[in-house]
Amino acid sequence: MAASVIVLGAGMVGVSVALHLQRRGRAVTLLDRQAPGEGASFGNGGLIQREAVHPHPFPRSFSELRRIAGNTALDVHYHPGALPGFASPLLRYWWHSEPTRYEHAARAFAALITTCLDEHRALAEGTEAMALLRPIGWMKLYSDAATFDAALAQARAAHEHHGVNYTVLDSMGLAAAEPHLQVSRLGAIHFTDPYSVSDPHALTLSYARQFEAAGGRFVHGDAMTLSRAGSGWRVQGAEDPIEAEDVVIALGAAAANLTRRFGYAPPTFGKRGYHRHYRMRGNATLNRPMLDTESRFLLAPMRAGVRLTTGAEFAANDAPPTPIQLERAEPIARSLLPLAERVEETPWMGIRPCTPDMLPIIGPLPGQPGAWCAFGHAHQGLTLGPTTGRLLADMMCGEAPFLDPTPYRAERF
């Protein structure tokens, strides 16, 4: 075989898998149509979310469903014609969000999340990547007392059960922490553990450079050409076919399109997201990422400027971009901060790969010896890439997994 492992997909998850396998002495080829980190890993809030021990459930209250159904919300937008294609996975998502089933998913999700800082540090320490991992956390702002009290109760429970650290700011403390905030809020919760990544694309590229420096190979190619080659696998690179004993499918939202050809059709679905950067007026600054719960979008300081990141858009994967949420959010963002001109006129768009039970798919591809899955991380691919890489490498190399992989097995679908 020309290589012992082919990793399909060079986002944060795929790069992390490739790097962990390379560190264990496997000969690895990383393949993607684009350069590393140019898919969903490029556009996100730039947070390594140690506090995110609870995944995003499907809303179950009538008032919340009615708010979303109006299709005017800032955090959720949908193309009406695309909804029939989402009916089955969203119904399963709703089913898994029932409180008892959700609690089971949350325990499994928290087991992954609580490792994220250590696993990123294990890849970043001693490299230029450490400068990208800013230990400043992020803040959630509140203007309603009942909502604030409920959030504080949840934060206390997360601290007690999962070691999530935070501080509470009143209105004056928030104004002191963010002196250029142009509105008054009742208070904020500052989650102190998460890293704020100043350039998520650069972080993926840094890990990819480590992989290549250790002897790994990156090639351009079409993952959809994957086929059996004897007892192994073959895929077409830009110049030559590549063969290997094992293959890892880390293609994010496109993964199920490939696995279906090999008899595995998980009910995954994509949430589209957008971002755009803005400069600040004069000497104004934003000190740390913040999400204003009244406005429902994230603003984060990045190398390129202040990044405005939208929530979820439900649309056909091949539908043209419709950055309606950005257009709705921008005037509100300008009321929150002294934003100046847009850095780029055309916003970025990507697709977050989601599963109905809110857990990623990590482990062997059913019925296909030598094929492995690493996809379905929804909003947390940046956070969980190194954790997934280590867990899958443990399994592939016959080592005792550092976490119980059972909740993430592909066979659950």
Rounded average pLDDT over 168-176? 97
Q: Classify the phi-psi angles of 25: left when phi > 0, otherwise alpha if psi is within -120 to 50, otherwise beta.
A: left
Say if residues 114 and 50 touch (Cβ distance below 8 Å). yes
Q: Does residue 37 lie in a domain region?
A: yes
Q: Which amino acid is at 300?
A: A
Closest by CA to 184, choosing from 142, 149, 146, 148, is: 142
pLDDT value of residue 2:
46
Look up the CATH number of the domain holding residue 371. Answer: 3.50.50.60
Token digits of residue 108: 């499994």
The yes-or-no verdict on residue 290 having pLDDT over 60 is yes
Is the alpha carbon torsion for 103, 104, 105, 109 positive or negative?
positive
The yes-or-no verdict on residue 413 having pLDDT over 50 is yes
CA-to-CA distance for 125 and 182, rounded, in angstroms? Answer: 37
Q: Does residue 259 lie in a domain region?
A: yes
Kindly state the percentage of the chain with pLDDT values over 90: 96
Secondary structure (DSSP) of 116-175: HHHHHHHHHTTSGGGGGEETT-EEEEE--HHHHHHHHHHHHHHHHHH---EEEEEHHHHH
Per-residue model confidence as pLDDT tens digits over 11-34: 999 999 999 999 999 999 999 999
How many domains does the chain contain in total?
1
pLDDT value of residue 3:
61
The yes-or-no verdict on residue 243 having pLDDT over 70 is yes
| Chain centre distance of CA 407 | 19
Average pLDDT, the chain: 96
The Cβ of residue 210 has, within 10 Å, a number of other Cβ atoms equal to 21
Q: Does residue 188 lie in a domain region?
A: no
Q: Does residue 150 lie in a domain region?
A: no
| Chain centre distance of CA 153 | 26
Q: Does residue 386 lie in a domain region?
A: yes
Grouping H, G, I as helix, E, B as strand and the rest as coil, residue 262 is: helix
The parent domain of residue 36 ranges over 1-57+97-130+198-268+355-413
pLDDT value of residue 39:
87
* DSSP H/E element including 318: none
CA-to-CA distance for 247 and 8, rounded, in angstroms? Answer: 7
The yes-or-no verdict on residue 109 having pLDDT over 70 is yes
Say if residues 174 and 181 touch (Cβ distance below 8 Å). yes
Per-residue burial over 291-311, b if 16 or more Cβ lie within 10 Å, else e, is bbbebbbbbbbbebbbbbbbb
Q: Does residue 156 lie in a domain region?
A: no
The yes-or-no verdict on residue 297 having pLDDT over 60 is yes
Query: Nearest-5° angle of CA 76, CA 77, CA 81?
Result: 140
Rounded average pLDDT over 118-139? 97
The yes-or-no verdict on residue 104 having pLDDT over 60 is yes
CA-to-CA distance for 6 and 271, rounded, in angstroms? Answer: 27
CA-to-CA distance for 54 and 52, rounded, in angstroms? Answer: 5
Burial class (CB in 10 A: 0-12, 13-18, 19+), 264: buried
pLDDT value of residue 1:
46
| Chain centre distance of CA 267 | 18
Q: Does residue 162 lie in a domain region?
A: no
Grouping H, G, I as helix, E, B as strand and the rest as coil, residue 411 is: helix
C-alpha torsion 52→273→14→203, nearest 10: -70
The Cβ of residue 230 has, within 10 Å, a number of other Cβ atoms equal to 9
> C-alpha distances in angstroms, 60 versus 98, 190, 312, 388?
8, 27, 17, 30
Q: Does residue 145 lie in a domain region?
A: no
pLDDT value of residue 41:
87
